[in-house]
Amino acid sequence: MQNSIREQEERPRVGLALSGGAARGAAHVGVLRVLEEQGVPVDCIAGTSAGALVGGAYAAGLMLDQLEEFALRMRWRDFGRVTLSKRGVQSNARLEEFIRARFPVSRFEDLRIPFAAVAADLKTGAAVVMREGDLAFAIRASCAVPGWYVPVVDEANRQLVDGGIVANLPVRALRKFQPPPDILVGVDVNFEGAKFLGPPRTALGILFQTFMVVQRSISAHEQRAADVVIVPRVGHIRWDEMARGEELIWLGREAALEAVGPIKELIEERTRGAGARAGRHTGAPRADARHAQLTEPVPATAPDDHGRGATHVRKAPAPRRRA
């Protein structure tokens, strides 16, 4: 135990941000499987919508075999039921019941890994980052797709909806953890958009495409805060195709395998840098200062047409030498 604690203190902390993407969220399970198999540490997790469900389950202590079973068996009927409310077609209270029945813990304070679920305040449009209290409620709120599910009302009387409208890839939410992680890794299952759609030909199609453009723009802003962004090649799969869980898990695994090398290099590089700074007794900049110097993304692996993903790596410039 003491060696484990010492190892965590010596190496940089790694934060993982899991994006929303409805059925595509099953790809996150494949990513987590690879990170665990390859010994890549995950010190904290932030998730939006489907990413909140998968990330919350993993943080709660569910084994990856159990997560894969959920991804293969879950259907939309497990999320909601029809309601007479004027604020939505369905209530997603059933998702909250599902979580309470299957997760080993029900409160953030009891999680194995620190975790945050991101929702949106429907009135103000602000991101709501939940890191304490009722875990099942927070995940339900993060998954409440506006217009389809009835908004979830919290203790502050805020109407909360799916966090995907404000932070679909919640990289910046990772900075709210104390201490903040040193390396930020994002997994964006919506980056490829909707390859199954042609040019919009109706008003509804234009509206949907507009929503996608806005969401990708928001995610691009979040990506710039990440050190590594993993992009599973899932753009050909619709968000409602939950029956394709096995394929989605495999695609997540393929993308993560491409990212393991760059992530490990960052860990080693920043571990050496921290040791050198400690030896010189010089103050190291905090994570926020380092991210302010990041360059534009450099493709580490280019996506191809055979199901592999893309990994984008951001490197900070080398620190200036002291005279």
Q: Are 311 and 258 in contact (CB under 8 A)?
A: yes
Summarize the chain as % helix, strand, coil (round to 5): 45, 15, 40
Beta strand 310-313 with 228-231 is antiparallel
The number of C-alpha atoms within 13 Å of 270 and in the hemisphere containing its C-beta is: 23
The three-point CA angle 308-198-187 to 5° equals 35
Q: Are 189 and 21 in contact (CB under 8 A)?
A: yes
Beta strand 44-48 with 14-18 is parallel
Q: Are 40 and 4 in contact (CB under 8 A)?
A: no
Q: How far apart are CA 159 and CA 166, in angstroms?
A: 14
Active site residues: 49, 162
